[in-house]
Chains A and B, each alone.
Chain A
Amino acid sequence: MDRRTVIKNLALIIGGAALLPACSQDKAKSKVALKNIDITADQEQLIGDVAETIIPKTTTPGAKDLQLHLFVLKMLDDCYKKEDQQAFVTGMGHFADQSKKLYSKTFDQLDTKTREAFLLGIEQEGKAEEAAAQKSGDEKNAAPATPPAGKYSPELKKFYSIVKRQTINGYTNSKYFMTNIVVYELVPGRYNAHFPYKQKQAV
C-alpha cells in the first residue's frame, strides 16, 4: 500500500479527531487525540503489535498498514463504558508484565510464533471461562460456578478481547477490505431471490 493510501485511511479512521502534527509531537503521547483515556506512545506501539499479530501483513495489508490500532483506540475512547476503559488500561499493564514473566522479554521482542501462542493462550482461557459460565447458567438452581483461577487476570482478558474485537471490526469494515476482499455494494440495484450456488466439496 502506498503512503498516500495510508494517509487517506488514517484520516478515515481518525474521523474528526485531530492528528497531532509530527514536528511538535510529545514523545509520550499517542498519535490519536483521545478524550477519555491517556495512552502513551509506547502503549500505542504495544496495541499496534498485538493488532498486527491478530491481523498480520501477508500478501495483503495487515493491521499496521491499515492503522487498525488507532481505530481500536478511537473505539475504546468513544464507545466503551468507563469501567471497561479502566480495565483495558490496567489489563494492558498486566499484559506487558505477563510477557516478561512467561518469556523474559517484552512483547515487541517476541517472534511471531511466540506472540501468537501467547495470544491464543489468553483467548483459550477466556473461552473456557465463558463456556463454564454458560453451563452454570443453563443448569437451573446451580450455585454460580467460581471461575477456575486462571493464568491471566480478568483485566488482561478484557484488554485482549477489546483489542481483538475492534481490530477485526476495523479490518472487516475498512475500505480496503470492503473494496478488495468482501465487496460491499452501496447500491445493489437488484434482488435475485433464486441464485444458483455451488457448494464446494467438503474436504
Chain B
Amino acid sequence: MANLNIDSVKERTFDAIVIGSGMSGGWAAKEFTDKGLKTLILERGRDVKHIKDYPTTNMYPWEFEHRGELPMSVQEANPIVNRCYAFGESAAHFFVKDAEHPYIQDKPFDWIRGYQVGGKSLLWARQTQRWSDFDFEGPARDGFAVDWPIRYKDIAPWYSYVEKFAGISGNRDGIAELPDGEFLPAFPLNTVEEYFRDHVKSKYKNRYVISARCAHLSTPKQIHLDQGRVQCQRRTICERGCPFGGYFSANATTIPWALKSGHATLRPFSVVESIIYDDKLGKATGVRVIDTNTKEAIEYYAKVIFVNAAALNTNLILLNSKSHRFPNGLGNDSGVLGKYVAFHNYSAHIGAEYDGAKEWTTDGRNPAGGGYIPRFRNVYKQETDFLRGYASGFSAYRYPERSWDGVGSSLKDNLANKELGPWHVGSHMMGETIPKESNFVSLDDKQKDTWGVPLLKMNIDYDDNDEKMKKDYVEQLTEMFTSAGFTNIKASTDRRAPGLDIHEMGGARMGNDPKTSILNKWNQVHSVKNVFVTDGASMTSTSCQNPSLTYMAFTARAADYAMSEMKKGNI
C-alpha cells in the first residue's frame, strides 16, 4: 500500500507546473520543455487540438445554420459574452457561456473568457506592439501605482526572442515610443491609409500612422515552417482557429511545440483550486486540482510553479491559496493582492468618409486590420489635464453600397451592385487606465462554483481621467479627420462596462518593494521564490499597447531566470 502511495506521488511530481495553456502559459511550457524539464500543463477547459478541433474553420457563410447569427435563446442566456464582437455562430464554442462560470459584479464588469487549451489566444485580435520606456517610466514620472522594477533594456532581448518564434509582421518605423522589433514584412497600408499617414506626418509633430503590427506570418521563415505553420492566407476569419497556423495561437505554436518535446504532460479539465504552500519548507510544493469531470481533488507537485491562468483567474488562485503563513492569499504580505486592477478604455469610435482616391481600391483582405496610431498625448511631457493617453486604430475601406430599398427586380439589381461607393475611414480609441487601490477583485466568502472555488467579486470602474481622455480622443481625432478633408465625421462614445476591452491587468503587480507589490523584477513572488506570475496579473501599469506580446516576453524571460535559479539551487 505504502509503495503504491509513493508511486502515485512520483507520478504526480514534475519539475515545473504551468497553470494555464493560453497566450503566456503556452510560452512557459515551451521554454521549460525546450530545456528538458518535465512539465505539467494544467488547463481548466477542454483540449482544442490545432486544426482537428476547429469545426467551423472551412465553412462557407451559407453553411452556417443562421448565417453567422446566434439563436436568440443563446443570446438571451449570455448577455455578457454576447457583447463581445467575436461571439457569433462561427466561434461561440471558444467562449465561456455566462451561466457556466458565474462571478459577482459588485460593479458591472464584462468578463470575457475562453476556457480551453489555447485560451483566448485563439480569439485575440493579434495586434502586437512593444512597450517603450515611455511606458515603463510612466508610473514613476506621473506619480501613480508603483515604479516598474524593469526598464525597456531588460525586456528588449526577450521581445526579440518571442517575436522571432511567434512571427510578427510590421515595418521598422523608427518611432521611439513604439520600438521596432524582429519583423516579417508588413501588411501594407492602402491608398487612403497612406494618404492619412502622409497628411498627419506633414501637419503634426510626433504623430504617426503606421501599418498595424500583428502576429501573422506574412512571409514565414524556416522556424515557422518547423512549427508546422505556413503563410497567412489573408482569410480574416481568425477567431475560428486557423488551419494554416497563419496567426500566432498557443494551439498552433507553443503547445504542440512543447508536446513534441516529449517532456510535457497536458491535463485539460483541471481547475486549479489553490497552490499548496509548505510552512516548514518555506515554499510552494504543488497545486490542488479539481477534475471538472469527476470532481475529484488531486495534488500535483513541482519545484517551480508558473501561474498563467489569465489576469483575474490568476488573482483568484493566489487569493484562494491560503496557509498559516499566508492567511490572505499566497505572497500577500503587502495586502495589495487583487488590487490595482486596470484595463483599457475602448469606449470611443469615430467614422467618416473621404471623397477622393476614387481610382483605387483594395483586393483580398488585410489581417492586420489597417493602420495604428501610437500614443501621442503626454508622451514627452505632461500637456493635458489628464494623465497618460491613448493609441488609436485607423483603417480605410470601400465597398459596393447595396440599397435594400424597394422590391422586385430592381432590388435584385441593387443587391448585385458591384459599383464601389466612397472610401470610409474609421478609428477606435485604446486608452491607458490608471491602476487604483479602489479597483479590485476579491473572493466571496459564501458563494462557490461547481468545483468548490469561491466566486470572484468585481469592483472595477472608470474614473474622471478616463472621461477626460475619451473627450480628448474625440476632439483630437475629429480635428485630424477634419484637417485631412474627411467628411460626414461621426464620433460616438459608449457606456460599456470595463472588461469588454479584454485587456484586464494587474492585481499581482510587479514592483521593487515587497511592501507595495506581489512580484519582483523577475515576475517572481517576493516571498515565495518558486512561484512566478507572468500573465496580465503581473502588470504594474497598462500602457495603451495591446498587451499579449509583453506577456509572452515576460514569460520567456521569467522562465529563463527560474531555470538558472534552479541550476544554482536557489529554487
Cβ–Cβ < 8 Å partners of B360 in chain A? 194-197
Which residues of chain B in 385-441 are interfacial with respect to chain A, using CB atoms and an 8 Å cutoff?
400, 402, 404-409, 411-412, 415-416, 418-420
Say whether B411 contacts A55, CB under 8 Å.
Answer: yes
* Complex contact B235–A188 (CB within 8 A): yes
Question: Does chain B have a CB within 8 A of A79?
Answer: yes
Q: Which single residue of chain A is at the shortest CB-CB distance from B75?
A: A79
Which of B193, B233, B363, B406 sits near A123, CB closer than 8 Å? B406
Contact A175 B62 (CB under 8 A): yes
**Minimum C-beta distance from B411 to chain A (A):** 7
Q: Which residues of A from 70 to 119 have beta carbons under 8 Å from B?
A: 74-75, 78-81, 112, 116, 119
Total CB contacts across the A-B interface at under 8 A? 132
Complex formed: what's the CA distance from A164 to B403 in Å?
13
Which chain B residue lies CB-closest to A192?
Answer: B363
Q: Which listed residue (A53, A175, A181, A188) contacts B416, Cβ 8 A?
A: A181
Q: Mark contacts of A166-203 with chain B using CB atoms, 8 A cut-off: 1 yes-contact digit, 0 otherwise.
A: 00111111110110011010111111111111111000
B464: CB under 8 A from chain A? no
* In the assembled complex, B361 has its CB within 8 A of some CB on chain A: yes
In the assembled complex, the CB of B215 is this many whole angstroms from the nearest CB of chain A, namely 16
The yes or no answer to B295 lying at the interface (CB within 8 A) is no
Task: Provide the residues of chain A in CB contact with B358, threshold 8 Å.
Answer: 197, 199
Query: Min CB distance, B246 to chain A, in Å?
Result: 10
Q: Chain B residue with minimal CB distance to A198?
A: B359
Q: Are the C-beta atoms of A120 and B361 separated by less than 8 Å?
A: no
Are the CB atoms of A191 and B364 closer together than 8 Å? yes
Dominant secondary structure at the B interface: loop
- Give Cα A78–Cα B188 distance, bound, in whole angstroms: 41
Inter-subunit contact A191/B365 (CB<8 Å): yes
Residues of A within 8 A of B62 (CB): 12, 173-175, 178
* Closest B residue to A119 using CB positions: B407
Contact A188 B233 (CB under 8 A): yes
User: Chain B nearest CB: distance from A67 CB in Å?
Assistant: 12
**Is B415 a contact of A172 with CB atoms below 8 Å?**
yes
Q: Which residues of A contact B70 (CB under 8 A)?
A: 79
User: Which of chain B's residues have a CB closer than 8 A to the CB of A193?
Assistant: 187-191, 193, 362, 366
**Residue B494 interfacial (CB < 8 Å):** no
Is B99 an interface residue, CB under 8 A from the partner? no
Q: In the bound complex, what is the Cα–Cα distance between A171 and B409 (angstroms)?
A: 13
Would A200 and B366 count as touching, CB distance under 8 A? no
Judged by a CB distance under 8 angstroms, whether A148 is at the interface is no
Decide if A116 touches B407 in the complex (CB within 8 Å): yes
Contact indicator B363/A79 (Cβ below 8 Å) = no
In the complex, the answer to whether B359 meets A178 with C-beta atoms within 8 Å is no
A177 to chain B, nearest CB (A): 8
Distance (Å) between the CB of A70 and the closest chain B CB? 12
CA distance A81 to B75 in the complex (A): 10
Q: Say yes or no: is B11 at the interface (Cβ < 8 Å to chain A).
A: no
Asked whether A56 and B415 contact (CB < 8 A) given A191-B366, A193-B188, the answer is no
A183 to chain B, nearest CB (A): 10
Which chain B residues numbered 348 to 384 have a C-beta less than 8 Å away from chain A? 358-367
Q: Name the residue on B nearest A195 (C-beta).
A: B363
* Interface assignment of B296: CB less than 8 Å from any CB of chain A: no
Residues from chain A with a CB closer than 8 A to the CB of B190 are 193-194
State whether the Cβ of B71 lies closer than 8 Å to any Cβ in chain A: yes
Q: How many residues on chain B are close to A (CB under 8 Å)?
A: 49
Q: Nearest Cβ distance between residue A126 and chain B, in whole angstroms?
A: 11
Instruction: Quote the shortest CB–CB distance from A184 to chain B (angstroms).
Output: 6
B72 interface hit (Cβ, 8 Å): yes
A191-B362, A191-B366, A195-B363 known; A78-B66 Cβ under 8 A: yes
The answer for the CA separation of A192 and B365 in the assembled complex, in Å, is: 8
Instruction: Point out the residues of chain B lying under 8 angstroms from A199, CB to CB.
Output: 358-359, 419-420
B416 CB to nearest chain A CB (Å):
5
**Distance of A199 Cα from B359 Cα, bound (Å):** 7
Say whether A54 contacts B411, CB under 8 Å.
yes
Max chain A CB contacts within 10 Å: which of B76, B363, B365, B416?
A: B363
Q: Does A16 contact B (CB under 8 A)?
A: yes
Bound Cα distance from A148 to B358, whole angstroms: 42
Q: Is A137 close to B, CB under 8 A?
A: no
Q: Is the CB of A187 within 8 A of B233?
A: yes
Find chain A residues with CB under 8 A from B233 CB.
187-189
Does A5 count as interface, using CB distance less than 8 angstroms?
no
Contact (Cβ within 8 A) B234 A58 = no
Q: Does B63 contact A (CB under 8 A)?
A: yes
CB distance from B228 to the nearest CB of A (A): 18
User: Would you call A168 and B415 a contact (CB within 8 A)?
Assistant: yes
Residues of B within 8 A of A184 (CB): 60-61
B58 within 8 A of partner (CB): yes
How close is B414's CB to chain A, nearest CB, in angstroms? 10
Decide if B67 is an interface residue (CB 8 Å cutoff): yes
CB distance from A82 to the nearest CB of B (A): 8
Is A15 an interface residue, CB under 8 A from the partner? yes
Cα–Cα, bound, A80→B359 (Å): 42
Complex formed: what's the CA distance from A192 to B233 in Å?
13
The A-contacting residues of B in range 170-193, CB under 8 angstroms, are: 187-191, 193
Give B368 Cβ to nearest chain A Cβ, in Å.
Answer: 9
Docked Cα-Cα span, A163 to B234, in Å, equals 34
Residue of B nearest to A180 (CB): B416
Contact assessment for B408 and A178 in the assembled complex, using a CB-CB cutoff below 8 Å: no
Chain A residues, CB < 8 A from B60: 175, 178, 184, 186
Contact A197 B61 (CB under 8 A): no
Interface status of B65 (Cβ within 8 A of chain A): yes
CB B506 to nearest CB in A, in angstroms, measures 36
Q: Quick one: closest A residue to B236, CB to CB?
A: A188
A134 within 8 A of B: no
8 A-B pairs with CB atoms under 8 Å apart are A53-B408, A56-B409, A56-B412, A58-B412, A81-B76, A172-B415, A175-B60, A187-B233
Given A168-B411, A182-B416, A198-B359, 8 further pairs, Cβ under 8 A: A119-B407, A164-B404, A173-B67, A175-B60, A190-B363, A191-B234, A193-B190, A199-B359
